[in-house]
A and B are shown apart, each in its own frame.
Chain A
Amino acid sequence: MGLRRASLCFLTALTLPSPALAYEAEVSATSDAQFYTLRSPWGDPVVRRRRYTQSLALHVTDIQGDYVPFGPQLSFKARLRLDADFGKEGYERDPNLPGTFVPGLEQSPVDVMYAYLEGRNYLGGWVGFRAGRQYVTDALGWWSFDGGLVRLTTPAYFQVEAYAGYEQRGGMPMLLGTERYAGDGVYRGNRDELELNQYPYFLEESKLAPAYGVAVETLGVHWVHGRLSYRKVINRDRVVVSPFPDTGDGFERVGGDRISSERLGYSLRLNEPGLGAVRGSIVYDFYNQVVSERALATDWYTTETITLGADYDYYYPTFDGDSIWNWFTHSGMTTLLGRAEWRPSRRFDVVLSGGAKLFETEGDSGSYGTVEQTGADPDRSETGRLTDALANVAGRYRWSDGSVGLRGMTEAGRRGHRVGGDVTTTQGFGNGLYDTLAIVSLYDWEDGLRPSRSATSFSYVLGGGIRPFDETRFGVEWEHATNRLVGQRYRVLATLDLTVLR
């Protein structure tokens, strides 16, 4: 009786009218199911992918109270994700089965993609902040960390941003992170079930990697925008040095603070609406002591419907400071492209681009092989160059409830080629209630190093969806590809997007 009364009181309390709240909340969910199968180039093993991805997001705005234009605003955003693959077999995850075990394979990892509290326009509009797991995007790349960021907006056409915290990494205790944002070049993950001598090349996943950065950015002027950013990430975990099993001498480890990455980047855009634009960026890697990226792009708005441009891009691979590959000889690759865009109407536009990609080596690969090299440090004074030719075309025509698009590309050089294209059409029906998709592709590729892996592929995708309510969509896609390497391959994708609460 007492329990019933208590329940009644509780329910009554829940249903009592409460004062109106200023904030708005939205809960959305996405579900994706994918089914397909991959086969080793030698036919076996066969990898079955039975993937189910679920994300759940919460977004609360105007936590501060009633919205006032240009006044303080406080919001909270978070997204949680489950990425399950039920095709991952038990024998692949059992370390006692070395013939089939794959280190680091988790069947259903969960991660918090982002979760942060954001404030804007505080202290008269001068101060903004973020606290929690968040992204930073600039010339240094797309990156995520857990911590705090403060942004100072000045009336002098620039703002200053400073942040500190921990890089998002897979091993962060209780924080459900992924390795996606950690520096590359080190194979690591959860070693909880592994002995020291099992898979020593698979390092213990890193936990807390302190990171901090600062950026100065122009603001408010539309014809110019520049951002100077500096960021440093520190490895702090003790990790095994040798990737080989111990034969009695014991494992050596390194620990203490050491650089994971330390980079300075600057990007600049200048544009004049009646003339064109220039965009450039440069990144200097302090650990590798090299310029790891530089780019320059120019666009000339030749007429109101035609834009001509040229792009230069240089990329030198760098890795996490723990990785040996930073110090293996390697070169940057340079891409040069000319580009023409034609927009005769709002509905139709087409772009053509073409150019070259340059690869470099220390020593000329053409002549070097004529010299017997058996362990001596080779003569690498010459620089060898290899060039691939590139060409791309992309166009689309849109109408009120549909579109057709074309994409074609080729990249060809001494080591082989890729050439092909696809045509994509979309069409809606019933005033947006239904949508359909069709993609037809034809690609041909030749692998100069492995001629047996050259093939021509024809494939198509048919898909459709229904939107029974606003921001709710259920869709299905069917993909069928055929080429001589795999015969027939099928893939099914089902998606469900829901906004369940506002």
Chain B
Amino acid sequence: MTRLAWLLAVTCLLALGLGLGADSALADAKGAAPATTGPRPVHGLAPLPGDAPVPLADRPPGAFTGDGGPSPIIFPPQQLTVRFNHKKHVKELSLTCTTCHERAKTSTESRDSLLPKPTRCDACHGSDHRDLGAVKTDDDALISQCGFCHIGYQPGDGNKVARLVVPRPNLKMNHAAHVKRNIACSQCHGAVEKLELATRDQLPRMRGCFACHQMPGPARGEARGDCVNCHLTERGGVMKTRFDTGLLKPPQWLHDSGHGPDWIERHKQVAGNDSRMCSSCHQERFCTDCHDGRVRPRKVHPNDWISMHPTAARQNNPSCTSCHRQQTFCVSCHQRAGVSMSGPYANYSGRGRFHPPPSVWSSPPRSSQHHAWEAQRNMNACVSCHVERDCATCHAKVRRGGRGFGPDAPAGVGDSGFGGQGVNPHPRNFRDRCAGALRGNARPCLVCHDPRDPQLTECR
């Protein structure tokens, strides 16, 4: 035991160390600035001078401290090779967002590039980008020089500038629809006018979208909260979750459904509460693979489960019943393997005894390991091997259907050799409930009681 515990602890620490080490390496890579030569520009290289953190109030609605930016699955990493000072253009030069991003007014799809064309800069910067193969600049104006905006540009580079990469987001987005409803840019992108360079961090957060998108269907127009309203879909209308950038999973705060490492143990409550949300991403097959599956799911059952499952079933049986019907799945296999009181191998000569000896397990007086306690603690464990006959053999009160080991059974009747105890198996408050039981379904009563049994009459 102790050695095993040490082994687990060491493995945990190794995994933790691996995770932290890899994360710091990732952070280092992310923080590396592009190499530049020549006079180092001061503005437009970061959201704020000196790469100071952007105040939360100026970030997009829904952002929070330490959120790491928007989802890299939805908004793939960008490569910004142009420095730009939004604050100067908007605050000092009194330009509006759509002066440069004019296509935002008409764009209906996320694949539309809303970055201004280089020619948009020419009017003020004195450059001429009409022919990108031979861009002209005004040699007398600093703001006209290629290196003024293009990071890393060297005078001898001619028309070669570093490539700007802004991948299309993995999302549906109709800017025109939002503009039409007078939704200001800042309602989704934050206070870009207060910043210099606008980075990925100014892209919308799903939490912010819900400020409007949480209305039920028929009454609220198109600002619905359905996942597929904004997320890309696959055939059949379910959300697309696999992208080149990774696997999309819900954040923790979204319906408290963060798919953490122990999600398999915790999903019941969330799925039982709102299964339609699950079906936004998952088809039926995803659920049936476990809940009605025919191949042992590794996420649920570890290796060598078949050897360990008897102990697990007695300790943790409610989990079994969420996928297995005991009187079909369990009993059938147990009968084949001879682990059953009724079945072909019940009296097999080579068969040993599954439970403790009768003196402990079934004979009076009750020991602390008597089967009654085990049945009371975890009835499902009994039901996964036994059939009704096994219990009725001793607990039936009357001879019915040609047998009976109850107090009124004739001596010698029976096919198993057990003597009848006639012990009342009912719980202590049974008399309060027996009338409802009899009225709702009399079959279980009649398995053990004669219809004229005075006790049944009392219940009626």
Contacts and interface: CB of A to CB of B under 8 A. Distances in A.
Interface residues of B, number: 158
Given A227-B274, A328-B379, A348-B20, A304 B66 contact: yes
B285 interface: yes
Interface string B442-454: 1111111000000
Contacts of B8: 393, 408, 420-421
B4 interface: yes
B93 interface: no
Given A47-B336, A247-B402, A187 B331 contact: yes
Interface in B323-378: 325-329, 331-333, 335-339, 342-345, 348, 350-352, 354-356, 364-370, 372-378
Contacts of B278: 137
Contact of A388 (B222, B295, B315, B383): B315
A-B pairs, 7 with minimum CB distance: A242-B401, A155-B219, A247-B402, A244-B403, A348-B19, A220-B216, A277-B256
A145 to B, nearest CB: 14
B252 A301 contact: yes
A494 B177 CA distance: 50
Residue picked from B23, B235, B303, most chain A C-beta under 10 Å: B303
Contact of B260 (A101, A221, A235, A341): A341
Contact of A241 (B312, B380, B443): B443
B442 A447 contact: no
Contact of B275 (A138, A348, A374): A138
Contact of A315 (B318, B338, B389, B442): B318
A18 interface: no
Contact of B269 (A242, A252, A279): A279
Contacts of A39: 337
14 contacts: A26-B236, A59-B236, A105-B336, A124-B218, A189-B328, A217-B274, A240-B401, A297-B269, A324-B388, A330-B377, A351-B261, A375-B364, A411-B316, A413-B315
Contact of A104 (B219, B332, B413): B332
B1 to A, nearest CB: 7
B307 interface: yes
A194 interface: no
B308 interface: yes
A64 to B, nearest CB: 12
A468 B407 CA distance: 70
B158 interface: no
Interface string A448-463: 0110010101011100
What is the interface residue range for chain A against chain B? 35 or more
Nearest to B272: A139
A304 B335 CA distance: 52
Contact of A304 (B64, B270, B375): B64
A406 interface: yes
Interface string B290-319: 011011001000111011101110111110
Interface in A143-198: 153-159, 170, 178-182, 184-189
Residue picked from B7, B368, B377, most chain A C-beta under 10 Å: B377
B273 A242 contact: no
A380 B428 contact: yes
A243 B387 contact: yes
Contact of A444 (B1, B291, B392, B426): B1
Contacts of B447: 241-243, 324
A38 to B, nearest CB: 6
B261 A349 contact: yes
Interface string A243-257: 111111101101000
A53 interface: yes
Nearest to A337: B265
Interface string A306-328: 01000101010101011111111
Residue picked from A73, A259, A325, A359, most chain B C-beta under 10 Å: A325
Nearest to A329: B427
Contacts, number: 535
Contacts of B441: 235, 258-260, 287, 321-322
B383 A184 contact: yes
A350 B261 contact: yes
Interface string B211-252: 000111111101011000000000111000000001000001
B166 interface: no
Given A121-B217, A273-B207, A361-B377, A369 B368 contact: yes
Nearest to B265: A392
Contacts of A307: 252, 258
A69 B222 contact: yes
B167 interface: no
Contact of B23 (A113, A114, A201, A348): A348
Residue picked from A189, A244, A311, A479, most chain B C-beta under 10 Å: A244
A42 B400 contact: no
A254 B344 contact: no
A192 to B, nearest CB: 17
Interface stretch (B113-121, B188-196, B415-423): B415-423
Nearest to A366: B368
Contact of B366 (A38, A303, A373, A453): A373
Contacts of B367: 369
B11 interface: yes
B308 A457 contact: yes
Interface string A284-305: 0011110000010101010111
B328 A179 contact: yes
B337 A225 contact: no
A327 B444 contact: yes
A481 interface: yes
B457 interface: no
A325 B383 contact: yes
A142 B413 CA distance: 43
B376 A330 contact: yes
A330 B380 CA distance: 10
Interface stretch (B39-47, B131-139, B146-154, B430-438): B430-438
Contacts of B219: 155
Given A359-B378, A372-B365, A326 B325 contact: no
A444 B312 CA distance: 11
B338 A102 contact: no
Contacts of A69: 222
B327 A184 contact: yes
A90 interface: no
B287 interface: yes
B402 A102 contact: no
A277 B328 CA distance: 38
A29 B391 CA distance: 44
A247 to B, nearest CB: 3
Interface in A50-104: 51, 53, 57, 59, 61, 69-70, 73, 75, 77, 79, 81, 83, 92, 98-104
